[in-house]
Amino acid sequence: MLLYEALKEYVVYLGIEKKVSDETLRAYQADVEQFLDFLTEKTDEEPELGNIDYIAVKSFMVDMVKNGYSRRTVSRKLAAIRSFFFFCRRHGLTDRNPTVGIHAPRTGRDLPVFASKQAIERMMEIPDRSNKKGVRDRAVLELLYGTGMRLSEIRSCNVGSCDFRAGTVKVIGKRDKERILPLTGKSAESLKSYIRDVHAAPETAFRDRARYLDYFRDRLDTPLFLGRKRNRISKRTIQRIVKKYLMQVANLSRVSPHVLRHSFATHLLDEGADLRAVQELLGHVNLSTTQIYTHVTTEKLKAVYKKAHPRAGDGGS
């Protein structure tokens, strides 16, 4: 089988069977396409899938390093290529996997970027709640920080996802996994204000679930956050909202909705939250993914110790 035919089948597999997000699907497709383009350029023709060997994969990795790609990027692209060949062999498209025995370059794991509690408090006060745009922006910020949702999760929320009486919001995470998150305090208040302004819901609709369902009736699948033409809000708009306000209160190396998710997790652990509870809230499959936040709090404690303890000195870290 030719390479690009196999790639088409792989993309369908990722989207339909693995149910990966559109963003992940595009990333994997682009990484594998780059490798296939590299092979095609070297031979001036599209090679057969079964003719690709260990040396071809290694040559691609060396070429990426020469062109200035970071170790982390090279590792990610190798993971995509490995996944592609695993699929091809498993489905009988080839009888070998040329990535076997190839190791990704060693990379250190970056600590999550997060904002301080004080910065978050200041950020929440900036949106002008005298107009609908400000009410929307405040609700987006409060919900991202108050629940730890991913960008894709807040965007996919519908009106029916909220249960104000129970104090919960239902989200659909990676691979269509559903989880229930707390919707209380400032995030609930801000979201109610937004729903009153934009969806014209009366205050009585929030008193119990039955009234809420009765008010929206056949509109429960209406997007919670609306765009200009009352369609679902775009990812770019949410990114712009976070960037606009977060940049005013914090000088961070990265500014994105994920920073609020990182801040949510870090602040919970700072206050003594159980690691496994935070894992559930974030929707992480593996506890090791959540444990990165313990490194953040450990570094913070070490910094406080070195600054405050009279015997800390400069001799250790």
Does residue 258 carry a catalytic annotation?
A: yes
Tell me how far apart the alpha carbons of residues 63 and 60 are, in angstroms, rounded to a whole number.
Answer: 5
Q: Catalytic site residue 76? A: no
**Residues 127/141, Cβ–Cβ less than 8 Å:** yes
Other beta carbons less than 10 A from residue 219's beta carbon: 11
DSSP-derived 3-state class of residue 235: helix
* Catalytic residue of the set 77, 138, 150, 267: 150
For CA atoms 182, 260, 142, 270, the dihedral sign is: positive
- Alpha-carbon span 124 to 130, nearest angstrom: 14
Q: Is 40 within 8 Å of 47 (Cβ atoms)?
A: yes
Is 175 annotated as catalytic?
A: no
Amino acid symbol at 215: Y
Q: Residue 159 carries which DSSP code?
A: G
Token couple for 93: 């498209």
> Exactly one of 138, 261, 262, 267 is catalytic; which is it?
261
Among residues 174, 211, 215, 311, which one is catalytic? 174
Residue in 138, 140, 123 with CA at minimum distance from that of residue 249: 123
Residue with tokens 């979201």: 191
The H or E element that residue 296 is part of is helix 292-308
CB atoms within 10 A of CB 248: 11
- R_g over Cα of the chain: 24
Instruction: Tell me, yes or no, if 219 is annotated catalytic.
Output: no
Decide if 267 is catalytic: no
304/187 Cα distance (integer angstroms): 31
Residue numbers annotated as active site? 150, 174, 258, 261, 284, 293
